[in-house]
Amino acid sequence: MNIDLSGRRALVSGSNQGIGLAIATELARAGAAVVVNGRGKDRTEQAAATITDQLPDAQVTAVAADLSTADGTAELRDRVPEVDILVNNLGIFGAKPVLEVDDDEWRRYFDVNVLSAVRLTRTYLPGMMDRGWGRVMNIASDSAVVIPVEMVHYGMTKTALLAVSRGFAKAVAGSGVTVNSVIVGPTHTPGVEAFVSELVGEDLPWDEAQRRFMREHRPGSLIQRLIEPAEVGAIVVYLGSDYASATTGGAVRADGGYVDSILP
């Protein structure tokens, strides 16, 4: 399947590292003009440079803005008035006993992981509808379905994204615009490496730490390894293409078979 996204502009929030950077890279590889985003100017520009180092012909724009705030979203909109493909990837995570998560932290997780996606979708969806074509993807997690006891506050936000995706998909029914969520399983990123070390011990070699993490904390994975970020990027590229025109309002799984369910 040859997916050509030439002529499409894609925005990936929180894309200066990890899964977001991999998604932006794969979209650029498919020919889309890509906007990468992060809070800090230097890191965001470095992320753009990382993509162009791999893909010298790629069209990449770096826009630093804190999308957890309304002001940051407005700043981004002023720089990038229209997009064809919106990937709401921005998110934070961390382990903490649920009884120790206070009101402020609950709100912070909701603001960053959910409300940022709602704002961006609300910003760019009308233009997509006017043009009769658009793709919105919310990057969710297996934690949306299998709530981890050590991250209930995080899991809650990813469950909310499934509902947000379904609701917006209904709002744009018949417009030529699709809205989906992507359920991502345990993925190999620097942030996850740190998380794994926190859970299983910092002194273990990485290969051993990964095996122990999967065995003790994610035993349901059918691929029995961490997912590589580019594998998530491939799913997003497909959903961002014309080939996925009949897929909307769905929760598409890129979880390595971790969620033990036939349906999400």
- CA separation for the pair 204, 210 (Å, rounded): 9
Q: Compute the C-alpha angle 14/124/42, nearest 5°.
A: 30
154 assigned to active site: yes
C-alpha to C-alpha distances, 45 to 15, 17, 40, 249, nearest whole angstrom: 11, 11, 9, 33
Collapsed DSSP state (helix, strand, coil) of residue 180: strand
Burial of 94 (0-12, 13-18, 19+ CB in 10 A): middle
Nearest to 217 by CA among 128, 142, 160: 142
- CA separation for the pair 39, 107 (Å, rounded): 19
Nearest to 157 by CA among 127, 118, 100, 121: 118
- Among residues 154, 238, 243, 258, the one annotated as catalytic is 154
Q: Which residues are catalytic?
A: 154
